[in-house]
Structure 1
Amino acid sequence: MRFRHAPEIWTGHPTLAAGVLVVDGVSDRAAAGDAVARHLGTARALLDAGPASALPQLQAWRRTFAAMGLKPTQYRCAAESLLRRLGKDGDLPRIHPLVDLCNAASAAAAIPVAALDRDRVKGDLEVRRAHGDEAYTAFGGEIERPAPGEVIFADEAGHAHARRWTYKQSGTSIVRPETRDVLIVSEALHPGAAADVEALLTALADDLAAAWPGVTPRLTMLTSERPAVELAG
Structure 2
Amino acid sequence: MTTLHIDHTVLSGYPEVVIALVVAEGVAGADSWPAAERALTALEASVADGSWAPSTEDDPPIAVWHAIYRRFGTNPRRVRPSVDALCRRLARTGQLPRVNGPVDAYNAVSVRHGLPAGAFDLDAVRGDLHLRLARDGDVFTPLGEPETTEQPRPGEVVYADDFSVLTRHWNHRDAERTKVTSNVENVLFLLEGVPGAVGQSTLDEAAQALTALVAPQAKRVTRHLLGAAHATAEVSVRARA
Aligned to 1:208: 214
Please say if 1:5 is aligned against 2:9.
no
- What is the TM-score of this pair, normalised by structure 2? 0.88
Aligned to 1:106: 110
Please say if 1:97 is aligned against 2:106.
no
Q: Is contact 2:21–2:224 with CA below 8 Å preserved after alignment? A: yes
Aligned to 2:19: 18
Aligned to 2:165: 160
CA distance in 1, matches of 2:54, 2:6: 33
The partner residue of 2:132 within 124, 128, 132 is 128
Q: Identity over the aligned pairs, expressed in percent?
A: 24
CA distance in 1, matches of 2:118, 2:26: 18
Moved more, 38-47 or 173-182: 38-47
Q: How does 1:165-176 map to 2 (within 5 A)?
A: 165-176=170-181
Q: Shift in Å at residue 178 of structure 1? A: 1.9
- What is the TM-score of this pair, normalised by structure 1? 0.90
Q: How does 1:46-61 map to 2 (within 5 A)?
A: 48-49=52-53, 52-61=56-65
Please say if 1:199 is aligned against 2:200.
no
Indicate the SS of the match to 2:187.
strand
CA distance in 1, matches of 2:44, 2:141: 30
Please say if 1:62 is aligned against 2:48.
no
Indicate the SS of the match to 1:137.
coil
User: Which runs of 5 or more residues in structure 2 are unaligned?
Assistant: none
Please say if 1:140 is aligned against 2:145.
yes
Question: How big is each residue's C-alpha offset from its partner over 1:117-159, in whole Å with a ceiling of 9 and x where there is no partner?
Answer: 01111100000001121111112121111111111111112x1
Runs of 4+ more than 4 Å apart: 42-51
Indicate the SS of the match to 1:37.
helix
Aligned to 1:185: 190
Q: Is contact 1:111–1:188 with CA below 8 Å preserved after alignment? A: yes
RMSD, matched Cα = 2.0
Moved more, 66-75 or 26-35: 26-35
Q: Is contact 1:36–1:105 with CA below 8 Å preserved after alignment? A: no
Aligned to 1:72: 76
Q: Shift in Å at residue 206 of structure 1? A: 1.2
